[in-house]
Homo-oligomer: A and B are copies of this chain.
Amino acid sequence: MQAEKMKADPIKSKAIRLTTTSYAVMSLLEMLGEATPYDLKQALEHSIQNFWPVPHTTFYEEPARLAQAGYLSQRQESGGRRRKSYALLQSGREALREWAESPAGPSQYRDEGMLKVFAGADPRVVYAGRGDWHRQKLAELEGYLKNLRERERPEDPSEDRWRGAEATLIAGINYQQQMIESIERFIENPG
């Protein structure tokens, strides 16, 4: 997680560190409006999970943390499951904008399989199923993109809250295609 400064509404709230996960929650809330942690988790799995993996337990806790620090409003159902819903407050929206405009570090690639190869495992064994995994992921992303394009969206791009999501899907599709190639190359010639 990147280093971030402490931020908080100075009046009522506890200062917390805003982590990349915080911004993930806030950017989903900006797209969805008011949402329960479960709604957020669902949305996450179709989008952010592909370039910023977060386990669901972490993601469930994050909205409460952010609400406590004054970035989100919280509202609780009175009947049934008495679920909580969260929405972005002004301070959250501002923090999100500021972060989005600041420079980002390089991307990270993490691959336990590659570490096994390093430790002497046979690349052909380690990567045997990988091509299929990436092909499946590719199909999944293409599905999301198709859905997104069938959705009605405003003419004016600056009004369109789905533009960012669309761009990340396109990038994800590129990435998966490249990975498929790159793995094939590697299996053919691992050294």
Size of the A side of the interface (Cβ < 8 Å), in residues, is: 59
A78 at the A/B interface (Cβ < 8 Å)?
no
Known: A50-B109, A167-B191, A185-B174. A104 touches B119 (CB 8 A): no
Q: Which of B106, B114, B185 is in CB contact (< 8 Å) with A52? A: B114
Are B119 and A23 touching (Cβ within 8 A)? Answer: yes
Q: Is the interface of A mostly helix, strand, loop or mixed?
A: helix
User: A157 → chain B, closest Cβ, in Å?
Assistant: 9
Task: Confirm or deny: A138 has a beta carbon within 8 angstroms of a beta carbon on chain B.
Answer: no
With A30-B120, A120-B164, A170-B186 already in contact, 10 other A-B pairs whose C-beta atoms are closer than 8 Å: A50-B109, A52-B114, A96-B119, A104-B111, A105-B112, A108-B108, A117-B164, A117-B171, A171-B190, A174-B185
